[in-house]
Amino acid sequence: MTILVTGGAGFIGSNFVLDWLASPEYRDEPVINLDALTYAGNLENLKALQGDARHIFVKGDICDRALIDRLLAEHKPRAIVHFAAESHVDRSISGPGAFMKTNVEGTFTLLEAARAYWSALAEDAKQAFRFHHVSTDEVYGSLKADDPPFAETNPYEPNSPYSASKAASDHLVRAWHHTYGLPVLTTNCSNNYGPYHFPEKLIPLMIVNALAGKPLPVYGDGQQIRDWLYVKDHASAIRTVLAGGRVGEVYNVGGWNEMANIDIVKTVCALLDELRPSAGGPYARLITYVKDRPGHDRRYAIDARKIERELGWRPAETFATGIRKTVQWYLDNPEWVSHVQSGSYRDWVSQQYGS
């Protein structure tokens, strides 16, 4: 029994792989980890698994059909858990082509390979097989202040090249189930945070900039609201859906933590003031408002009642406990941070936020 994980060297994927192989229920079920190791894929995330025969890493692209066919034939996984995606909104605005390639064409290629593999399985293996597609709440668009949170029945209204590409991939997954019978599951998650988060995203960017004494760039007025989900809670939700989710269904996964971006930044600053005080004074002095990005969605919120009602899942972490663990992790892992901050990363930050 094995599973194939795509994008398993990225932020969410690597946390999922680490937790999967540490869990009593699945620790004896190997993971075939396929990742192209682009800027956000990092084998250092998986250093704890070095030499572990249960973790088989393969560097490769999900658009490479021949490679996927070979991996499926060789390892005969009982499930595919599909994380691999370009995921940063700002990068999708400046370079949308990569998002269409990976998120749309890559998902199509993976679905077709999975369909061919699944169709040839013996009946019992065919019944047990699952294709789990990991997606985002951003496919639903933006909410007004008094709108109810996104439910699985909300219409899709993506507003960025990134969310449009993920919406397209969701539709492909749905269509391959309804047309071909492929046994799929989809989860749409809210904003993740936690260990191994690439520091172009809000929370790790604030942590690493604050520790370096650099400005903390906040878009617009900072009142954009997001629901925040600790990444290890997300990993447990995926395991829960993979084990018991109804085939063809969508499950929204959220942390029940709606907060404005500026409040997130101030919370990070306060924790750093406590855990690593700066001789220059409170870290909040570094907050700098910058021009808002184009088409910036105002509010996301997830209604995660379906996954709780049907599968009994709720997040274990509150935002207060999760953000403390996250800040402490970055303080404890300065080498990881320095290694991911390559020249190309610094150039991108300079381009995005100004000097």
Task: Pick the catalytic residue from 162, 251, 300, 330.
Answer: 162
Q: Write the DSSP string, 254-291.
A: --S-EEEHHHHHHHHHHHHHHHS--TT--GGGGEEEEP
Q: Write the DSSP string, 39-95.
A: TT--GGGGGGGTT-TTEEEEE--TT-HHHHHHHHHHH--SEEEE------HHHHHH-
Residue 160 has pLDDT above 90, yes or no: yes
The mean pLDDT of the chain is 94
List the single range of 27-41, 57-71, 323-337 with lowest mean pLDDT.
Answer: 27-41
Task: Pick the catalytic residue from 137, 227, 233, 317.
Answer: 137
Confidence band, pLDDT 50/70/90 cuts, at residue 238: very high
Is 162 catalytic? The answer is yes
Residue 355 has pLDDT above 50, yes or no: no
Count the Cβ atoms, other than its own, within 10 Å of residue 332.
10
Residue 222 has pLDDT above 60, yes or no: yes
Whole-prediction pTM value? Answer: 0.93
Q: Give the tens place of pLDDT for each residue, 244-287.
A: 999 999 999 999 999 999 999 999 999 999 999 999 999 999 99
Q: Which pLDDT belongs to residue 351?
A: 62
Share of the chain above pLDDT 90, in %: 86
- Most confident of the following: 88-97, 111-120, 191-200: 111-120
Q: Give the tens place of pLDDT for each residue, 53-62.
A: 999 999 999 9
Residue 182 has pLDDT above 50, yes or no: yes
Is 137 catalytic? The answer is yes
List the single range of 32-41, 120-129, 179-188 with lowest mean pLDDT.
Answer: 32-41
What the block records as the tokens of 233 is 């809670």
Count the Cβ atoms, other than its own, within 10 Å of residue 90.
19
Q: Which pLDDT belongs to residue 354?
A: 53
H helices then E strands: how many in the chain?
14, 12
Average pLDDT rounded to a whole number, residues 175-180: 98
What the block records as the tokens of 295 is 């088409």
- By three-state DSSP, how is residue 251 classified? strand
Share of the chain above pLDDT 70, in %: 96
Q: Is CATH 3.40.50.720 the right assignment for the domain spanning 3-191+230-255+298-317?
A: yes
Are 263 and 225 spatial neighbours (Cβ–Cβ below 8 Å)? no
- Cα–Cα distance between 285 and 267 in angstroms, integer? 13
Confidence band, pLDDT 50/70/90 cuts, at residue 326: very high
Per-domain residue ranges of the chain: 3-191+230-255+298-317
Confidence band, pLDDT 50/70/90 cuts, at residue 344: low
Task: Pick the catalytic residue from 35, 138, 303, 317.
Answer: 138
Q: How many CA atoms lie within 13 A of 70 on its CB side?
A: 9
Residue 102 has pLDDT above 90, yes or no: yes
User: How many residues does the structure list for the chain?
Assistant: 355
Residue 302 has pLDDT above 50, yes or no: yes
Q: Which pLDDT belongs to residue 9?
A: 94
Confidence band, pLDDT 50/70/90 cuts, at residue 334: very high
For β-strands 31-35 and 191-193, DSSP reports them as unpaired
Is 138 catalytic? The answer is yes
Residue 346 has pLDDT above 60, yes or no: no
Residue 100, H or E segment? none
Q: Which pLDDT belongs to residue 120?
A: 98
E-strand ranges in 153-269 read 184-189, 191-193, 216-219, 225-230, 250-253, 258-260
Residue 347 has pLDDT above 70, yes or no: no
